Structure 1
């Protein structure tokens, strides 16, 4: 069978990612809890590249803000992995945890329902995604945010091996597709060539 060509992963622009996080934080929610929880959710997608199922199954014991790490249990392919997190993400998660405690949430799931003491659900995340799509005017899916994370990491200088580990890819070839997605970034970099100013 001939190999089917892989299309480039769809992503949102860096400016759109900033805007999405801004709106997740500043949306006129009815409760402060929603502001901090929803910003933490979208920060995790954009700063750590989690899959939807990985975020929904995240437990309190999986998040270690002292050591700036997140433990993903039984990700795709039933594999565990550890993802390092940066200070921006840690700050967002910490804010949420303070609010979570104030709201007496004691269930083992990291992200919880606003009104109930139970884990945030897939349908809840779907409703939230639709709300933020409408408010921001940005067309995105959770998977598109994962692709955005991968592309931004490469553009920021992350090596392909490290990214592969963070994404939880069993084969590094899966990660290399993101190299093509950074062509736009490469075009912007080529103007830095030292001979560009040389005129014959």
Structure 2
């Protein structure tokens, strides 16, 4: 089964061109699945897997305390794997066909209000090159709504400051051109003039945002920076690297932006993914009404 799994991973990387984090997720899920099927169910070939073995594996995940969302993701990974094997004529059947995905509660994304955004954006100390870098990153995230993976993937020639846009490569290797406001462009220019040169050790380094070694900043590195700045800003909400992306979309819609335009800027392939932010704005309107209307 390991050979079939390698072929599937190669398909995801080369033909589907999925994002690195998505590929890692598929691989983690399916390695655990194959290991369980072989060691616990004692099935040694793909054609030996039936619906009951998959049900047993999902029950095993539930016993481990995995959430409905994690189990649903595993089902999606397993289904994609077996469909690939059927399509490639490696298997004669798809045992995952009648497996039902558990019902998921739709959780609304956490967002910052405008005052919290201001406090976070003002947290970096602009007297240091670290502060100039952090300010530029936060301003860029809030100005464009790009993902953190897209942020750290930016190169110098992706930021077109005088023309007011950034170019990024998103999920599925798709390119997006996103408008950039004056405030973010100014912060990035300040970082390029006074901050980045102090980090750089190799003049051929192309990465826009770099760490203290002068190399491309990692997702983990950004997460550590964000946690520190959140504490500095006195924000008690549990922020994630996606929080500024969620806030960007919500604040645009609250101020009358077109849903299709927000979808394009976020890089969502399906508008239903973007529509969740309309639920956020409705919830926030209810909160404002309850707080301020005299007869609420």
TM-score normalised by the shorter chain: which range applies? Answer: 0.7 to 0.9
Which of 1 and 2 has greater Rg? 2
**Runs (5+) with no aligned partner, structure 1:** 191-200
1:61 aligned to 144, 152, 157, which one?
157
Report the CA distance shift for 1:156/1:188 in structure 2 as closer, same or farther (over 3 A): farther
Q: Please tell me the root mean square deviation across aligned C-alpha atoms, in Å.
A: 2.2
Q: 2:228 aligns with which of 131, 142, 154?
A: 131
Match of 1:154 among 253, 266, 270: 253
* Mapped pair 1:122 → 2:239: no
Measured in 2, the distance between the counterparts of 1:64 and 1:159 equals 24
TM normalised by structure 1 equals 0.83
TM-score (norm 2): 0.57
Aligned match for 1:143, one of 232, 242, 251 = 242
Shift of 1:33: 0.7
Correspondence 1:97 to 2:197: no
Unaligned runs of 5+ in 2: 1-99, 290-296
Please state whether the residue corresponding to 1:118 is helix, strand or coil. coil
Q: Partner of 2:242: helix, strand, or coil?
A: helix
Task: Label 1:32 to 1:152 Cα distance change in 2 as closer, same or farther (>3 A).
Answer: same
Q: 1:137 to 1:159 in 2, by over 3 A?
A: same
Aligned partner of 1:19 in structure 2 is 119
Instruction: Report what 1:112 is aligned to.
Output: 210
Distance 2:211 2:103 in 1: 44
Kindly state the Cα deviation for residue 52 of structure 1 after the two structures are TM-superposed. Answer: 1.1
Contact 2:152–2:219 (Cα < 8 Å) also in 1: yes
